[in-house]
Amino acid sequence: MKRLLLLMVLVALAGSWALAERTKTVNFPQGYRKWYHVKTLVLQAGHPLYEAFGGIHHVYANEKAKQGLSTGRYADGAVFVFDLLEAPVENSALSEGARKVLAVMEKDSARFADTGGWGFQAFSGGDAQKPIVTNAKEQCFHCHESQKDKDYVFSTWRP
């Protein structure tokens, strides 16, 4: 009887842990290419972040994130996408190459309270089945933390 009880407790614990992990999941940003284009930046060899972010990236904002850009405060449901592609140069023309990674920030103050209210995830090659962030605090938030006065977002409004 005692063993059965212990087993039930363990199963319940595992269940709530799985649920907690799932509710922390950042969704794949379906349709983001139709969102608001915030900016584009090319990082070339020699830049300190070249190793991780070298190439050309576009930043997209959904409607709620777009609204927040001008105030620097974001409502729950705001989502930003950082779309990083290779940037090969041929005949002096820099073009978009293969997608390296699709990084996402999703605002939900309650679910992501320990990372400034933002959930962070990155999908290798833009593949929804290949999430690579296992520790958002160490892999993402520690750097975005520097933008605390702008609700942890680097991008700003540009008319």
Residues that bind ligand HEC (CB under 6 A): 39, 41, 49, 59, 80-82, 103-105, 120-122, 133, 139-140, 143-144, 153-155
Question: Which residue, 23 or 145, has its beta carbon nearer to ligand HEC?
Answer: 145
Place of tokens 């962070």: 120
> In whole angstroms, what is the distance from residue 79 CA to residue 69 CA?
11
Q: Minimum CB separation from ligand HEC for residue 45, in Å?
A: 17
Nearer to ligand HEC, 4 or 25 (CB): 25
- Nearest approach, Cβ of residue 48 and ligand HEC (Å): 8
Cβ pair 133, 143 in contact under 8 A: no
Q: What letter would DSSP give residue 35?
A: S
Q: Which is nearer to ligand HEC, 31 or 91 (CB)?
A: 31
Q: Smallest distance from the beta carbon of 8 to ligand HEC, in angstroms?
A: 38
Identify whether the C-beta of residue 87 lies closer than 8 Å to the C-beta of residue 95: yes
Contacts 24+ apart (CB under 8 A), 99-103: 99/125, 99/126, 100/55, 100/125, 101/125, 101/126, 101/132, 102/29, 102/32, 102/126, 103/140
State the nearest-atom distance from the C-beta of 59 to ligand HEC, in Å. Answer: 5
Whose Cβ is closer to ligand HEC: residue 15's or residue 97's? Answer: 97
Closest distance of CB 111 from ligand HEC, Å: 15
What backbone phi and psi angles, to 5 degrees, belong to 105? Answer: -125, 125
- Looking at beta carbons only, is 11 or 146 nearer to ligand HEC? 146
